[in-house]
Amino acid sequence: MTEIDLLVRAEFLYPVSPGMPVIPDGEVAISRGRILHAGPRQPEGSWFPTRTLSGEAKAVLPGFVNCHSHAASLIFRSQTDDHAAKAALLEVAFRMEKDIEEEEWALLAEAGCADMLQAGITTINDIWYAPHRLAETVEACGLRAQIAHKVFDVRLHDLWRGDYTHHAGIGEERLRDGVAFAERWHGAAGGRITARIGTHATDTCAPELLRAARAEASRLGIGMHIHAAQSAAEVEQVRAAHGCGPVELLRDTGMLAPDVVLAHLVFAEKGDLDAAQESGATYAHCPTIYPRRGRYPPLEDIMERGIPTGFATDWMLNDPFEGMRNALNAMRLRLGSPTALSCAQALELHTIGAARVMGLQEEIGSLETGKKADLIVVDLDRPHLQPYYGDYAALVYYARASDVVTSIVAGDIVLEDGRPTMLDRDRTLAHLKQRVPGWRARLAALGSRAVFGPGCPCCG
């Protein structure tokens, strides 16, 4: 009999380990934050656990890894879904971001982390404003996170006018702040929090800033995170200024390396994909956002090239199951084949694949002996999941984020009965709701066509 901290049993266990087995009547034994066993249920008396979680009508799988996120950006939900992305981002979001106070970012970070936990996301790779406030929330609520300060040298709030003037002083200050954050938080919370240098995008950072950011990341021994080939406007701006594609620009500045996460690649051309492939850079694919924008990245080409790829949510709905379904449906429609992407592949891309993108594949992303105990429990006793046969399609095509009842990070239960255990969700939501009228009025004043209620032009 082996003494352990936690025994998690499952009617169906999805380890996402080599060979991708599905194990009926499985269990995960956890001690000191790591996995001692993940496989078939062992004979009674094999373990002496401090606590046991019943496996009746439960599926257990690795926690979802979200390799490109903006946890605090939920303030702009619904503001870009029914409108041209360029107009909504440049005319509304970018102009409002500069006036959001730090305490507002802190509140939004709390709500975003609660949302991630309740969706079964146990690791995020986040780039945004006020990263230290996000880090404080991550430390408190039990998530695992890589976090970067948003570095750029243009005035984002002036991009809607077509003003892409680069200001060295802005870039130097924001890079200093990003470095200071990394020096303070990298390795914090027992290693759950690590840092990256987060250059915003190829059109909002001058080549000199990209080179300086690469130098600082290399000096600190940390990775980088950037939006690349995200929009047609970005590609046009980079080609006009530098005569090459966005990822080619990153290569030419010496920024590309295996520790760089490239988000989106929606408008990447052959030269861009060649540059990504040759450098070993990794790719964060956000399947929920692309159908809303009417353009899907060349995912099949990216994967065929062997570019490490993982799924992410960006700033849309943080439901990994919906994300996987979006990817499956998009790929099958794009290629006219029901086998273009399998359910097993989709799950792999949102777990071990996304962990690989972040350089964490040796520690998380699958349930294997010796790895950190990051896992989730899905309640199968729901009408929309029955009858449940245990195959990958049963889980990926039919489960919802709201079916996640337990999340465990490093052996600690951070979500139980569908509620965060170390974050006061009700207090956070109450405070957030108090802010909504003010946010609505500010959005309406910037010309948002997606707000209704007091303060908007149509309602007074």
Residue-wise pLDDT tens digits, 139-174? 999 999 999 999 999 999 999 999 999 999 999 999
Which residues span the domain enclosing 9? 2-62+368-420
Q: What is the predicted pLDDT for the residue at 85? A: 60
In a domain, 432, yes or no: no
Residues 382 and 259 in one domain: no
Closest CA to 144 of 193, 203, 199, 198: 193
pLDDT band at 88 (very low <50, low <70, confident <90, very high): confident
Residues 212 and 339 in one domain: yes
Residues 16 and 118 in one domain: no
Residues 175 and 28 in one domain: no
Residue-wise pLDDT tens digits, 205-258? 999 999 999 999 999 999 999 999 999 999 999 999 999 999 999 999 999 999
Least confident of 92-101, 241-250, 443-452: 443-452
In a domain, 442, yes or no: no
Rounded to an integer, what distance in angstroms lies between the CA atom of residue 277 and that of residue 219?
Answer: 24
Residue-wise pLDDT tens digits, 177-187? 999 999 999 99
In a domain, 433, yes or no: no
Other beta carbons less than 10 A from residue 67's beta carbon: 31
CATH classification at residue 411:
2.30.40.10
Residue-wise pLDDT tens digits, 106-139? 999 999 999 999 999 999 999 999 999 999 999 9
In a domain, 429, yes or no: no
Q: What is the predicted pLDDT for the residue at 345? A: 98
Residues 334 and 282 in one domain: yes
Q: What is the DSSP letter of 43?
A: P
CATH classification at residue 349:
3.20.20.140
In a domain, 455, yes or no: no
Residue-wise pLDDT tens digits, 382-425? 999 999 999 999 999 999 999 999 999 999 999 999 999 999 99
Residues 25 and 77 in one domain: no
Answer whether 261's CB lies under 8 Å from 287's CB.
no
Residues 285 and 342 in one domain: yes
Quick one: average pLDDT of 42-56?
A: 97
Average pLDDT, the chain: 95
Residues 57 and 71 in one domain: no
Residues 322 and 389 in one domain: no
- Write down the pTM of the prediction: 0.96
Residues 72 and 184 in one domain: yes
| Secondary structure (DSSP) of 301-314 | HHHHTT--EEE--B
Q: What is the predicted pLDDT for the residue at 292? A: 86
In a domain, 430, yes or no: no
Q: What percent of the chain has pLDDT over 90?
A: 91
In a domain, 427, yes or no: no
Residues 14 and 81 in one domain: no
Q: What percent of the chain has pLDDT over 70?
A: 97
Domain count, the chain: 2
Residues 56 and 73 in one domain: no
Answer whether 266's CB lies under 8 Å from 330's CB.
no
Rounded to an integer, what distance in angstroms lies between the CA atom of residue 400 and that of residue 5?
Answer: 29
Q: 149 versus 89: which is more confidently predicted?
A: 149
pLDDT band at 86 (very low <50, low <70, confident <90, very high): low
Enclosing H/E stretch for 139: helix 131-141
From 357, 380, 396, the end of a domain falls on 357
Whether the pLDDT of residue 447 is over 90: the answer is: no
Whether the pLDDT of residue 361 is over 90: the answer is: yes
Rounded to an integer, what distance in angstroms lies between the CA atom of residue 428 and that of residue 108?
Answer: 9
In a domain, 274, yes or no: yes
The upper half-sphere exposure of residue 99, i.e. CA atoms within 13 Å in the direction of its Cβ, equals 12
Closest CA to 95 of 432, 448, 450: 448
pLDDT band at 89 (very low <50, low <70, confident <90, very high): confident
